[in-house]
Amino acid sequence: MRIHAKNSRRFSQKTSVFSRLLLAGCLLPALQTHAADAAAKPKPDVLVFSNGDMLTGKLDHEADGTVFFASDNAGTVKVPWAKLKELHTEAPFAVIETGVPVGRKKANLDIPVGTVSIAGDTLTVTTSSGTREIPVKSIAYLIDQPTFDKNVNKKQGLTEGITGAITAGASTVNSTQNSVSINSGVVLSRIVPPVAWMPARQRTLLNFNSNYGKVTQPNTPTVKTNILHGGLEEDEYLSPRFYLLEQAMWDHNFSQGLDLQQLYGGGAGFTAIKDAKQELDVTGIVDYTKQSFSASGTAPAYTNNIIGSSFGDNYVRKFPRKIVLTEIAAFNPAWNTPSDYSANVSVGATFPVYKNFAFSVGVIDSYLNDPPPGFKGNSVQFNTGLTYTIQH
């Protein structure tokens, strides 16, 4: 009986050890996964308001004196420097001071990159080589390191940096008179590099708009509207505000007897106003224009070849609630035939409806000083539609 009890105790001890090893083997992967998740999840950034309230989350960036902070509970909040008491980040940020240029594929030795801590009016950035204190009032941008490295060191993709809007509208009437009206518009811009904290080197502008309408009635001639416009501009910046440009435009306007107008030119532009709310560019170019008009009545078809200039502006104004006003105008005097001058003005506004969709209204006025006989020189369009905004 003793031997049997001893063997039983030994068996029980071996079973206990085996059970513990088995339990540890089962729990070990879970414990390792938990530890890995805890290590992978970074600590939150901390923002303290001037009144003592605190938010945890992640600093997104800072621009023009406003901190954009993604809070865990309140979403993304915008905090001016004046309302900020403290800020502490766990991830490294590039601290760009006002007046310090950011070059591409350069060392950028004047731009420290490290974790950021703000107390009062002083920012302390901790880098691999030490700490540096910078007055808050002299900071232009705080950019997270991955975004900073991507734009400084990597080549921009062809589809990166594209912004703009696509608009479409239509209306129909079925009655004694049957009518249909369709309008569309595309305005796109691509800037290299696509960030505000680096000086622009190139900009491509593309725009297109169309307006088609038809009114029919029994025993009555059909009334038709067919207007097309397309434009392409390539800018090369010599400084943050001054640039050289190449431009091409194509126009067709059935209502003015214009089969096709082609304009090709080059010149210079200057950004007269640029801030967070508005931007105004003014341009001047020397151009060649070829106008082809259709026959009208007894007047035959004919062509004008014009050497002239184009003086224009492009204005964008942002209002509260993401309402945007745009205005584009150009005056085109002719040198060899002064009577063949022309002008174009386009004014539009978009009102947000849902996410990237907006309601848009616009007016386009095209003027030809010397149209064919039987046609008016002025052509005015009023368009409404639904706009989809493209943001990079």
pLDDT given for residue 26 in this prediction: 54
- One domain for residues 94 and 136: yes
CA distances from 316 to 29, 84, 101, 123, 273 (A): 58, 31, 25, 34, 10
Q: For residues 232 and 376, what is the distance between their CA atoms, to the nearest angstrom?
A: 27
- Whether 258 maps to a domain, the answer reads yes
Query: 201 with 251, same domain?
Result: yes
Last residue of a domain, one of 153, 184, 216: 153
Same domain for 115 and 177, yes or no, is no
Residue 103: inside a domain: yes
Let me know if residue 32 belongs to a domain: no
| Structural domain span for residue 178 | 162-390
Same domain assignment for residues 211 and 72: no
Q: Which amino acid would we find at residue 366? A: S
Whole-number pLDDT of residue 7: 53
Interatomic CA distance for residues 26 and 20, integer angstroms = 10
Based on the fold, state whether residues 139 and 175 are members of the same structural domain: no
What token pair was written down for 302?
């004919």
Structure confidence at residue 35 (pLDDT): 47
d(CA 103, CA 96): 12
Q: Tell me: do 81 and 206 sit in the same domain.
A: no
CATH code of residue 355? 2.40.230.20
Half-sphere exposure of residue 291, counting CA atoms within 13 Å on the CB side? 21
How confident is the model at residue 223, as a pLDDT?
A: 87
75 domain-assigned: yes
Domain boundary among 153, 188, 217: 153
Ordered mean pLDDT values, 10 residues apiece, the chain (392 residues): 50 50 51 49 87 92 92 87 92 93 77 93 92 93 94 85 93 89 94 91 94 91 92 95 96 93 97 93 97 85 94 95 94 94 94 95 94 89 94 74
Report yes or no on 255 lying in a domain.
yes
Residues 303 and 216 in one domain: yes
Residue 188 identity: L
Statement to judge: residues 199 and 302 lie in one domain? yes
Q: Is residue 101 part of a domain?
A: yes
Same domain, 101 and 179: no
Q: For the chain, how many structural domains are there in total?
A: 2
Could you tell me the pTM of the whole model? 0.80
Quick check: 123 and 133 in contact, CB under 8 A?
yes
What integer pLDDT is reported at residue 261 of this predicted model?
94
Domain end residue (candidates: 106, 129, 153) = 153
**Kind of pairing, strands 84-88 and 75-80?**
unpaired
> Can you give the pLDDT at residue 295?
86
- Whole-number Å distance between alpha carbons of 252 and 295: 14
Q: Which residues contact 229 (CB under 8 A, 6 or more apart)?
A: 207, 208, 209, 210, 249, 250, 251, 252, 364
SS3 108: coil
Evaluate whether residue 36 is within a structural domain. Answer: no
Q: Which of 151, 176, 140 is nearest to 65 (CA)?
A: 140
Number of H helices, E strands in the chain: 2, 22
138 and 202 share one domain: no
Classify residue 119: in a domain, yes or no. yes
With H, G, I as helix, E, B as strand and everything else as coil, classify residue 256: helix
Residues 268 and 236 in one domain: yes
DSSP 3-state assignment of 222? Answer: strand
* C-alpha to C-alpha distance for 319 and 29, rounded to whole angstroms: 55
Q: Encoding tokens for residue 77?
A: 């909040």
Is the same domain home to 192 and 117? no
